[in-house]
Amino acid sequence: MPTAPTDDELELIRRSGVALRVGRLSLSAGTGSYRVKASMARMAHALGVDRHEAQVTLTEITTTSHRGRSFRTEVSEVRRVGVNADRLADLEILVSDLERDARTTGEEITVERATAELDRIAAKPPLYPALVNAIWSGMACAAFAFLNNGGPVEIGTVFVGAALGQLVRRAMLHRGYNQFGVTMLAAAVAAFTYLGLVELLQAAGAIEGRHQAGYVSAVLFLIPGFALVTAALDLARLDFSAGLTRLVYALMILVSAALSLWAVSSIVGLAPDPATPLDLDPGVLLVLRFAASFLGVLGFALMFNSPWRMALLAATVGMLANVGRLELIAAGFAAQSAAAMAALVVGVLAAYAAPRIHVPRVTISVPAVVIMVPGATAYRAVFHLADGATILALSYTVQAALVVVALSIGLAVARMLTDRTWAFDR
């Protein structure tokens, strides 16, 4: 006959549940498994748990908490995956504060206090309403349009198309629709909006020539940059169960958007070919690249629900690194070499700047790196693959893959140089 749990066992159950909740909130906010495990372990230690171990994938967490001779194993599933930088920052501050209080007083943090704080974080609404969030998306993609050699027409119409696409995407995701279906719909809305606006302007005689090349930039808000980067960091930590599942998720999102773009292209009879470089004075081009890089990273950071201080720091770091990358490419460096060096700069700057405003470095480094992810190249790869141009598709695939791998290597090396837990395999 089963015996009732003792008071110590009941207390361990409560404390283990709080630590697991930290993990669930962190995972649903988009961070990598390393940060999820670390946050849970630190919270468990502050609550008086002797040892805490966890296995984390993209959507599942398995934890075991030890206290004395008792242990508690729990399994939890997180079905909604997104990015919420503000929540990640709040959780980092909470765990650090509770850990410091426990160390200073020499007493364990109570379950009631930790639960109340987690309730507050979980109930916190997004910083920006849906329409404002859509504007940040439009701003980021408009900056991408310029960096992809777009002119004023492309920049303006991309802004509208990307904003409308993000508005549809956010509304449907909040209603629980399938992410891959939503991604395809949002991509179609953004691309059709862009092409429709261009056609209207041409019919009205306001513009001349072809401006269809910018419609690829209109769907770049769908690039799963956070998932790609955190997947690479998980793999660098030899956490294959988390890294591979996150990488597959990112690729499925990317393919969903690209196939939708291919369908739009097939309907209207266009191909997402690269645009001709703008004929600008080198000095003017450099200044505009600084501005576009800053606004692009700022838009992505704000779209990820970052507070302004966090977003401005990420934009500054990303601006310096991205313009440096573009200058290296112009000087003859391979795109992947320039990407690796730029990501290394981002990682080192984030390591020193993020702690000074008490936020996780991933909330600075990922938005700063997202603007370097070759989303347009990846979309073209899937487009040409679906269109049967295998050799051209393979060329674009290799280009995109090399740059993504280089970005990951740069960030991983930066972590190894600035974080002792990454420098040693333990």
What is the predicted pLDDT for the residue at 213? Answer: 61
The answer, yes or no, to whether residue 423 has pLDDT greater than 70, is no
Count CA atoms within 13 Å of residue 18 on its CB side.
28
Q: What is the pLDDT of residues 405-422, one digit of tens each?
A: 898 889 888 888 887 776
What is the predicted pLDDT for the residue at 408? Answer: 85
The answer, yes or no, to whether residue 159 has pLDDT greater than 90, is yes
pTM: 0.88
User: Taking every pair of C-alpha atoms in the chain, what is the biggest distance, in angstroms?
Assistant: 85
Q: What is the pLDDT of residues 22-43, one digit of tens each?
A: 999 998 888 888 888 889 999 9
Q: What angle do CA 100, 103, 104 make, to 5 degrees?
A: 85
Average pLDDT over residues 283-312: 92
The answer, yes or no, to whether residue 369 has pLDDT greater than 60, is yes
Percent of the chain scoring above 90 in pLDDT: 28
The answer, yes or no, to whether residue 209 has pLDDT greater than 80, is no
